Structure 1
Amino acid sequence: MAPPTFMGLTGRPLSLAVSTVATTGFVLFGYDQGVMSGIITSPVFNDIFAATKDNSTMQGVVTAIYDLGCLFGAIFILTFGDFLGRRRSMMMGGTIMILGVLIQVTSEKSSTPLAQFIVGRTITGVGNGINTSTIPTYQAECSRTSNRGLLICIEGGIIFALVVSIGIIWLPESPRWLLSRGRDAEGETVIAALRGLDVDAKETQLQKQVIMDSINASGYGSKKGTPIKAVFTGGRTQHFRRMLLGVSSQLMQQLYPAEINPIKTRAKANALSTCSNWLFNFRKLSHPLNLSTPESFAVSHPSDNSKVIVMVTPVMISNIKWGTYLFFAIVNACFLPIIYFLYPETARRSLEEVDIIFAKGYQEGISYVKAAKELPFLEDEEIDARAREFGLVGDGGRVGVGEEEVEVEGGKFG
């Protein structure tokens, strides 16, 4: 029996196709900001949108309104992401972005161009907020342990939303989402296709069982989705702590939330992390900006911290000169001890191993960073045994999930 295929692809080629579509979508924020930095003070732009001419406040509003739309998109995924799934959310996000762009480019001087342009930017932001809340989760759930971090980190490239909204049609849904919704046959088909194996292969069935154990241990084994209150629970799965790690990590980078959170709360916790990202972006960008100087063009950089640089760099260079660079060096250095002591390492770990790290830390009363260091790298065959050892999988009893306990029928999940 041949391995299942999507787009005629299986194994590594299929994984690369998933990564390519994910990559094209996530960088669209940087592309938009780069375009705006180049046109916001140009005579042609100011001629059509007269209110932006020599008006740094209005220029800031036009630039920052995009981030406000992104915040709304992230809130949408926080509410409906579990119901829609990863693929449909990405298709929706790409389509909304295309609609927003069309509204922007059809703004005409003879009508009310600035109002239309702002509406278009807000709609484009909604689509991008949906994508940035969904794509890291989709990428993490479809990637192998060995290359997951690299694939999410390279999510950058100059390709358009059309690739995301159309390309995802022929790609598989996240196997973890499918299994969490009770669609077992589809889930194991995707697992087999991503690994280039037969559906009945031992490795396929073992990976399916490992994922099912994780789903049931987190209390997500139903079609109802996750209530927002589940994000604020503790216990062996440490939902609240892991959500806080993901949200705070958005001040430094964008990979961590999709890896650190468990299947039950991954979509909602990642959406909350993205909300914090866009909320801080809007606050940074909505202040009056002087975009008439060359230094201000740093807004084209897509990283989160660049917004702060845009706000303060011209003033700091004028007043403290070389001290500006020393200041930013110290700020970045301050991140190092925080990351080292508070953030467990996830490199080369499967998403299910990360669950075991937090269960080990909770049960043994040690820091989760120490738990990650002490736990050896596990094969699929070892994950089930460790999950039982730390109470994530029961032997015919009950399993602690957050603040609750869940009855287990027959001892073994799946």
Structure 2
Amino acid sequence: MSGLISAPQFFRVFPACDPARQGAYKASVLQAFYVAIYEVGCLAGAVFALMFGDRLGRRKMMFSGAIILIIGVIIQITAFSGSWAGGQFIIGRIVTGLGTGFETSTIPTWHAECAKAHSRGFAVFIEAAMISTGTMIAYWIDFGFSYLDNSASWRVPIALQCIFAVALVALLLFLPESPRWLVSKGHYAEAQKVIAALEPAPYNDAAVVLQLKVINDSLEGQTRQRKRDLITNGPTQHARRMLLGASSQFFQQVGGCNAVIYFSTPIFEEYLGLGRKLSLILGSVLATVYALSACISFPLVDKAGRRKLFFIGTWGQALSMFLIMGCLIPGKDSNAVNGAVVGIFLYLTFFGFTWLELPWLYPAEINPLKTRTTANAVSTINNWLFNFTVVMFTPPFLASTSVGCFAFFGAINLCFLPVIYFFYPETAGRSLEEIDIIFARGYVEKVSYVKMAKIMPRLSGGEIEAEWRRLGLSDEERPTSGDGAEGFNSVP
């Protein structure tokens, strides 16, 4: 919406967003609301996934999300000038967000449950990189259609979302259900077929049968998941682990990413004083750099580890925000604008290969099987809640004090550093069962979980089983032993 919300063609249908008619501050608040209301729909979709996701299954949730998204797009693009135009557009944004909330709460879990050990982290990072690629495509489409002097300049870019939703619906005809979900519902034969296809191996192959047994054993004895399991601690540390995953989503949003992604074109145009066309071009180039920077993370995620990437991204984002702030201080010469543009590009580059992907990967790794679906939904709810908050307050904040806005985001990023240092254990190179042991041993032995992750050697399946018995963990939480568990229970 960055290139659409400030377009003259958009103002003709939605005059409430036009600064020339409403005044800069009031128009900025309404522009923020038109953009941010989408996040309310996303939040509602994530809450629905929290309550009913396990009941419906991964494929049904993804299918439903795509259909709802298409309905929301149709509502948006059929809004025409009149007293109801704004209300209809807002309703369409909410409905579209509802579908997106279904997808963002479900797809990472489906990935984690279907991917093998050596490809899980890579698969999740590819998924996150698609976010930046989609942003890039949207910016260039907005720029291309900006040359049309009618409402098609914003209707067509919004309508093009349907192409990807229809593609998802078509692909779901060929994609499998999660084998873990199938086993949890007693569909063992179908689960075995999926495992055989994912291996790939014959249906009755020993490796396939072992994988099915591993999944069944890991779920056996579990009672129906209760939401209050999330707030239990003890050796399993459910609450701590849920909060760690959710905090990464919180940090991603309050670090200012969507202040830049959603409003880069208005920032270039209104606060840096650049022309409309130049601002659209810079926004599109910025989105391209953003997409390319996401590719840097692919070789780094396993070599550098999660903690190091968290630190690099946080320092880079903070310094970039302070650079923008310094260049916007009144009294600077005209060349300072160039420095602010560089700062915006640097910020999104650092974000693209660190904080874009990590908050989607880390919760899936850090949370145990028993609470993973619910904890991931809580993390996603956190993401959309603070996404809405940041998108809503950024335009009026910029209108009041652009220098203060960027200083605020820079300072907020610095606040992440001690939390990451003291509380975020490294998960790279660990199986999901080993991560369970890290938290259990840290609790029992009164050792920092970060330190335990550093000093604990890699464990085999038998060693994990022995540690589980030694630590006195309940059968309900007990992981299964054997190298076969690595296929579905490991992270790179």
Q: TM-score, normalised by structure 1?
A: 0.72
Q: Deviations over 1:354-406 (max 9, x none)?
A: 333333333433332233334433455655454444445xxxxx63659xxxx
SS at match of 1:169: coil
SS at 2:401 equivalent: helix
Q: Summarize the alignment of residues 215-234 of structure 1 with structure 2, pairs less than 5 Å apart.
A: 215-216=219-220, 219-220=222-223, 225-234=224-233
Conservation of the 8 A alpha-carbon contact between 1:78 and 1:272: yes
Aligned 1:13-412 pairs, distance under 5 A: 36-54=1-19, 55-109=27-81, 112-155=84-127, 156=130, 157-158=133-134, 160-216=164-220, 219-220=222-223, 225-250=224-249, 251-252=251-252, 253-287=359-393, 289=395, 311-312=397-398, 315-317=401-403, 331-379=412-460, 383-392=464-473, 399=475
Partner residue in 2 for 1:301: none
Is there any run of 5+ residues in structure 1 with no aligned partner, and where?
A: 1-35, 291-310, 393-397, 403-414
Question: What residue identity is the alignment partner of 1:205?
Answer: V
4+ residue runs of structure 1 moved beyond 6 angstroms? none
2:220 and 2:440 map into 1 onto residues whose CA distance is 14
Q: Distance in 1 between matches of 2:468 and 2:238?
A: 16
Relative to structure 1, the CA distance from residue 381 to residue 313 in structure 2 (aligned partners, 3 Å threshold; closer, same or farther) is farther
Change in Cα spacing, 1:260 to 1:199, as seen in structure 2 (3 Å) is farther
Name the amino acid aligned to 1:284.
Answer: V
SS at match of 1:249: helix
CA distance in 1 between counterparts of 2:2 and 2:91 reads: 19
Identity %: 49
Alignment-derived partner of residue 22 in structure 1: none
C-alpha offsets along residues 14-68 of structure 1, whole Å, 9 cap, x if unaligned? xxxxxxxxxxxxxxxxxxxxxx111111111110112221212211111110011
Q: Please report how far the alpha carbon of residue 313 of structure 1 lies from its aligned counterpart in structure 2 after TM superposition.
A: 9.8
Q: Contact 1:391–1:399 (CA<8 Å) still a contact in 2?
A: no
State how far apart, in whole Å, the 2-side matches of 1:39 and 1:279 are. Answer: 23
**What residue identity is the alignment partner of 2:118?**
S
Give the count of matched residue pairs.
332
Q: 1:208 to 1:316 in 2, by over 3 A?
A: same
Distance 1:204 1:357 in 2: 29
* Residue deviations 1:172-215 (CA, integer Å, cap 9, x gap): 11122222222233223322321212343343333334333433
Q: 1:234 corresponds to which letter in structure 2?
A: N
Aligned to 2:153: none
1:105 deviates by 1.0
RMSD: 2.8
Change (3 A) 1:78 1:254: same
Alpha-carbon contact 2:370-2:477 (below 8 Å) kept? no
Alpha-carbon distance in structure 1 between the residues aligned to 2:395 and 2:110: 36
Q: What SS is found at the alignment partner of 1:51?
A: helix
Which letter does structure 1 place at the counterpart of 2:181? W
Counterpart residue type for residue 236 of structure 1: P
* CA distance, structure 2, for counterparts of residue 137 and residue 216 of structure 1: 20
The answer to which structure has the higher helix fraction is: 2
What letter corresponds to residue 124 of structure 2 in structure 1?
Answer: I
Q: Please give the alpha-carbon distance, in whole angstroms, between the structure 1 residues aligned to 2:7 and 2:108.
A: 35
